[in-house]
Copies of this chain bind each other. A is one copy, B any other.
Amino acid sequence: MIARTPEKFRETGIDVRLNTTVTGIDPEAKVVHVSDGDGLPYDVLCMATGTHSVVPPLPGVEKEGVFTLKNLSDAIRIKRFIQEKGCRKAVIAGAGFIGMEMCEGLRDLGLETTVVNKDDLPVKRWDPAFLRVIVEEVEKNGVKMLAKTSIVSVEDGTERRLRLNTSAGALEADLILLALGVRPNVALATAMGLQLGRTGAIAVNFSQRTSRDGVYAVGDCCESYHRVSRQWVHIPLGDIANKQGRVAGAVIGGRPLIFSGIVGAQAFKIFNLEVAATGIGEREAAAAGFDPASTVVWGNAIAASMSGGEKVGLKLIADRATGMLLGAQAVGEIGAVSRVNTLSACLWTGMKLDEIGWLDLAYAPQFSGAWDPIHTAAQALQRAITA
C-alpha cells in the first residue's frame, strides 16, 4: 500500500475525513451521519471499525500514564510520554502477544519492565513446554514476570509515579500498559441491526457481505472462516484484514471473489525467539469434534554439522481417526516461522501425517537436516496414533 494524504485521495475522487467519527447510520435512508454534521448518502457501505483494547473497570485506570496500545497514534503517544517524563519503570498488565512484544519495545528504550499475568504462563495458545522457553527468554532479557497475579487498581504513588495494586502487592511505575486483549467494535453494527456471529464480531459471508444488503464488513470487526475448525472465528490480525479488504473491494467493484478463510497462522518475535503457530490446539480440536493427539519434538533448526546448536521446538496436533493435521506450534531462535508456514500450506488442503512425514522440502545443511523436524514430528505422531 502506498501512503497517501487525504488530498491525494481526493484527487482520485475519494473523500477522506480525518478526525471525524461516525455518529449514526440510517440503513433505511442509507445515510451515514458524521461528527462534522454531514450526512453521507451511500449505495454500498463497508464496516471497517476494527477493535478496541479492553480496559477493565478498575479504579484509577483513567489516570495519566496508563495506556493501551492499538494503533500507531497510541504508540507515538506512549513513546512521547516516555521521553517527556523520563520514564524508567514500566508495568505491562497482560501477557498476550501484544504484552510480550511490548516487553521488548520497552526494554529497548531502557525501561525496567514488569509483566503482570493473571495466568500461570503467557500467550496461552502455545504448549506449556514452549511457554517456559518464552518466559526464560523474556527473563533473560531483564523482564520480570509475575504469574497468577491480577490487577486491582491504580493509585498515585511516590515520586510522581503510579502505583498498581495487584493481588500480589503494589508495584510502582512511571507507565502502565494495559494489554488485556481486544474486542470487536460493533456498536454501529449493532445499532443498525447487523447480525453478529457467535464470537461477538460482525457475521459475514465468504464475500464479506453482512446480513444487510449492500453492507460489507472487513478486518478486525468481523469474523473469518477457519478452515480447520470449520467454524467462524474472530482472529484480529493484519494480514487477514488485508485479504478481507481486497475481497470486499473486488466484490463491490463487480468482480465476484471469495475469501476462502484462514488456518490460524500467527507469529511474533520476542527478543531472540521466533514464536509461531497455526491451526488449532487440542482444546479447540476437541470442541470442533476431532479426537486430537499431539507430539512435541526438539530438532535442529539447521543441520547439526553446520549449526551452533540452534534448536527448534515443534508441536503437531492431529486427528486420531483420520491422521489429518490440525495444528502446529513452533519456537526457536531460527526456523520456527518457516516451519509453521509450510505446515499452514499443509493445513490449507487438509493434509495427513503420513504425507507430511515425507514432504519434499529444500534440503541443504545450512537450512535443515535431511530429515527436517517437520518430518520427524509427523512420523512420530503418526506412529503414536497408529500404535
Q: How far is the CA of A238 from the CA of B365 in the complex (A)?
A: 10
Q: How far is the CA of A363 from the CA of B361 in the complex (A)?
A: 21
Q: Is A298 an interface residue (CB 8 A)?
A: no
Q: Is A348 an interface residue (CB 8 A)?
A: yes
Q: Is A371 an interface residue (CB 8 A)?
A: yes
Q: B344 touching A348 by the CB < 8 A rule?
A: no
Q: A259 touching B362 by the CB < 8 A rule?
A: no
Residues of B within 8 A of A337 (CB): 338, 362, 364, 367
Closest B residue to A367 using CB positions: B337
Q: Is A346 an interface residue (CB 8 A)?
A: yes
Q: B359 touching A345 by the CB < 8 A rule?
A: yes
Closest B residue to A228 using CB positions: B360
Q: Is A237 an interface residue (CB 8 A)?
A: yes
Residues of B within 8 A of A371 (CB): 239, 242
Q: How far is the CB of A266 from chain B (nearest CB, A)?
A: 6
Q: Is A290 an interface residue (CB 8 A)?
A: no
Q: How far is the CB of A231 from chain B (nearest CB, A)?
A: 15
Q: B259 touching A363 by the CB < 8 A rule?
A: no
Residues of B within 8 A of A242 (CB): 370-371
Q: How far is the CB of A23 from chain B (nearest CB, A)?
A: 31
Residues of B within 8 A of A331 (CB): none
Q: How far is the CA of A349 from the CA of B360 in the complex (A)?
A: 12
Q: B340 touching A362 by the CB < 8 A rule?
A: yes
Residues of B within 8 A of A346 (CB): 345, 348
Q: B260 touching A363 by the CB < 8 A rule?
A: no
Q: Which of B227, B241, B342, B351 contacts A341 (CB 8 A)?
A: B342
- What would 16 A/B residue contacts be, using CB atoms closer than 8 Å? A239-B370, A239-B371, A242-B370, A260-B355, A260-B358, A261-B360, A265-B360, A265-B363, A277-B362, A278-B362, A337-B362, A343-B345, A344-B359, A344-B362, A345-B345, A346-B348
Closest 8 CB pairs of A and B: A338-B338, A267-B362, A239-B363, A345-B345, A265-B362, A262-B360, A269-B366, A349-B349
Chain A interface (Cβ within 8 Å of chain B)?
227, 237-243, 259-269, 274, 276-278, 337-338, 340-346, 348-349, 351, 355, 358-364, 366-367, 370-371
